[in-house]
Chain A
Amino acid sequence: MATGSNGARRIVSLLRPSLVDSGVCRSCQQTLGRRNYASAATEASPSEASSTAAPPVLKPVYTINAGMVLSRAPLVTRDLEPFEKAYHFYQKRLNERLTLPFTKYFYFKRGTPADADWKNKIRERRTPARDIGHYDPYGPEAWNDELLVGSRESDPEYQAEMLVQDAESTANNTSQDTSKREEIPRPFPRVTEADKKGDHHSLNRLLPRTLYLLVQSNEGYWKFPSSPVEKDESLRGAAERTLVQSAGINMNTWTVGYHPVGHHVYDFRHPRPGQATGTTLHGEKTFFMKGRIMTGQANLSANMQNLKDFKWLAKEEIPQYVLPQYFSNVKNMLSDR
């Protein structure tokens, strides 16, 4: 099959109008075809033009777009895998078994309320560590350090709760004023209101993930904000202008670097006449700059790019909205986390 199709390819490449030599391998042909400036220079020189008998190459004309992949960095640490939780917990108990005993005398002066509180606690949980459950690292049952099915000790939420409870009881047992109870603030929840409501417009959703700004055009297609590069405009300048024109000025953003992080090529089914110079356009090439949002929020009310909606989406949610071809082109510049 391989030889047969290779032969067919060779015939097709002979039939194809092309400047390049058929002796050059396919991948090199492509590279040569991409060198627009170089091939333009060779065509310009008269001696070259007279010597080449091959028909002139049809150079495609594309609209060059600049896009902005605006992202919100993760705000909290990622959710740990069950294996990671179990591993960290196992190492903690192992550490209790292998290290020297806790130097109590350094941290608690004899006869103080803190010392009495400490004695109560160590009698109950048998170990100085506050977040590994009831475990006696030096006793005869120290070998029994594995968690049973259904126990919550390896869960970070449980451990945080234990630490807070310990701090609370210490504060209550050692304070002079017994009338009022001390309250230690709990850590904020990792799941926010926006997550529960499924509000895709909020920047407060999916705190452990990177969120990307996607906009919907009036025709209903989702994409990263992008628009054609104007004359005498840099890629970065065009991307920043696109962002302001599409999502408003109420955002404090930072464009990372001057190089695009990815590109998307879209070929029209049939070449269209271009608006500006009467050339025939064969498609669009979009180059994406990377951006980070610091503060603010997108606002499409005054947009000049014919957009009707926006969403902040994580990487996994993007394929539900964009076309498969688009996603396969942009997915590698999106962060896994």
Chain B
Amino acid sequence: MAAREPSRYMARALPRALGSTARPQGIACRRFASDEAPARRLSSQMDELETASSLEGTVSEDVAKSFDPVAQANSRKTQLPRSRYQFRSPKYYRGPLHPHQPPPPSDPSSRVFVPGPFSSPRAQQTYTSTIAQDILALCYVHNPPGFKPPPKAPRLREWDDSPPTIRTGPSVDRVVERITIHSHVKGAIKENSSWLHVAGMAIQTISNVKVTTYKSKTSVPSWGVVPGRDTCAVKAELQGENMYHFLGKLIDVVLPRIKDWPGIKGSSGDSSGNITFGLAPESVAMFPEIEVNYDMYPPKMIPGCHITLHTTAKADKDAQLLLSALGLPFYGKMIN
């Protein structure tokens, strides 16, 4: 077989070589990794999963019907001691040599374990299925082979050990990384702390994230702010599932209902792809979580807030493209 292979190749190739060729002969069969990309259906790839007894075989109807874990547990005469099945994570970390080590954070018995995700957010699915590929097609820069783009002056000064804060050059990869909701509570300085409690509760309700409070660092005499004394702001940082749910609510429920909302100002942004805009107290009250029991909030104390959308875009222009694709309009003069 092996000996016959070249002659077979010759027999196929010679007539082509002797005849007029339309184009230079390429490699007969080119193969790309993407040619073999499987359709991304998990259930069709169950055979690739590790074998486990739960995945093998089927359970007959009557066995499944008669299975009652609570009754089984109650019928047990003797119990194992609690220490055998209930692991308690140590309260303090006593070093790597201590016999009682805390479990990894992904373990439900860990003290820092956070459950989730609970859903697959719609905004995220829209991003991955529609927006990401459209941005890729929109921003693709084609350099023909042999062409070298002319060198561009760097936007920021070059740094030798290039710290991660410096981000230069265009990029197609644009995602909303995190969202910060920040609210400066004036009433907490002028009057009492109840303003701060209500503001924290409201921000926590709309974001599903526990807020942190901040004290003033600078003195503003006209506002009566003394550094280090007054707690004057609450902030929530959203990532992942919470962030996408918040973004979805903001874009589809709250912003369309604001009267005469012109959009985000085109000049907003820190020139590194992070865009900020503000919401008035009456807009914050439009979030569905606050609306369902609006009566429980003192209406005067519902806070306004600033929302910062941190994106991986390296210039404001790129971030504006991403956010307008997500459904946040911009108005006025666009400044990068």
Contact = CB atoms under 8 A, between A and B. Distances in A.
Interface string A1-32: 10011011101110111101000001101111
A95 B6 contact: no
Given A1-B2, A81-B42, A148-B67, A95 B118 contact: yes
A11 B10 CA distance: 9
Interface stretch (A70-78, A119-127, A174-182, A215-223): A70-78
Interface in B23-45: 23-27, 34-35, 39-43
B6 A7 contact: yes
Interface in A37-83: 38, 57-58, 60, 73-74, 77-78, 80-83
Interface string A133-153: 000000001001010111000
Contacts of A92: 115, 118
Contact of A83 (B2, B42, B129): B42
Contact of B133 (A8, A267, A335): A335
A192 interface: no
B137 interface: yes
B122 interface: yes
B240 to A, nearest CB: 13
A80 to B, nearest CB: 6
Contact of B9 (A5, A29, A82, A146): A5
Nearest to A316: B39
Interface string B114-143: 011111101001101110011001111010
Task: Bin chain A's interface residue count.
Answer: 35 or more
Contacts of A205: none
Nearest to B1: A1
Contacts of A34: 145
A110 interface: no
A33 B24 contact: yes
B140 to A, nearest CB: 5
Interface in B164-203: 201
B9 A282 contact: no
B145 A31 contact: yes
Contacts of B34: 332
B23 A33 contact: yes
A154 to B, nearest CB: 12
Interface string B42-73: 11000000000000000100001001011001
A16 B21 contact: yes
B80 interface: no
B24 A29 contact: yes
Contact of A16 (B6, B17, B117): B17
A250 interface: no
Contacts of A82: 43
Nearest to A112: B295
A29 to B, nearest CB: 6
B220 interface: no
A298 to B, nearest CB: 20
A282 B137 contact: no
A30 B30 CA distance: 12
A88 B3 contact: no
Contact of A257 (B7, B20, B21, B140): B140
B160 interface: no
A204 B31 CA distance: 37
Contacts of A261: 137
Contacts of A13: 17, 25
Q: Which of B2, B34, B69, B118 has the most CB of A within 10 A?
A: B118
A91 B6 contact: no
A18 B126 CA distance: 50
B42 A12 contact: no
B142 A259 contact: yes
B10 A12 contact: yes
A210 interface: yes
A5 B6 contact: yes
B129 A4 contact: no
Interface string B91-114: 000000000000000001000010
Contact of B293 (A5, A107, A316): A107
Contacts of A336: 39-40
B221 interface: no
Interface string A206-246: 00001000000000000000000000000000000000000
A276 interface: no
Nearest to B26: A30
Nearest to B42: A81
A337 interface: yes
B146 interface: yes
A13 B26 CA distance: 11
Nearest to A271: B22
A199 interface: no
Nearest to B142: A259
A94 interface: yes
Contact of B70 (A20, A32, A73, A144): A144
A194 interface: no
B153 interface: no
B113 A337 contact: no
A4 B39 contact: no
29 contacts: A4-B2, A5-B6, A8-B6, A8-B10, A15-B17, A17-B20, A17-B21, A30-B24, A31-B145, A33-B24, A74-B125, A77-B122, A77-B125, A78-B125, A82-B43, A88-B118, A94-B115, A98-B115, A148-B64, A149-B59, A256-B134, A257-B137, A257-B140, A259-B140, A259-B142, A271-B22, A316-B39, A328-B35, A336-B39
Interface of A: 1, 4-5, 7-9, 11-13, 15-18, 20, 26-27, 29-35, 38, 57-58, 60, 73-74, 77-78, 80-84, 88, 91-92, 94-95, 98, 106-107, 109, 141, 144, 146, 148-150, 210, 256-257, 259, 261, 267, 271, 282-283, 290, 292, 316, 328, 332, 335-337
A-B complex: 6 closest residue pairs judged by Cβ atoms: A33-B24, A4-B6, A95-B115, A149-B64, A60-B22, A8-B6
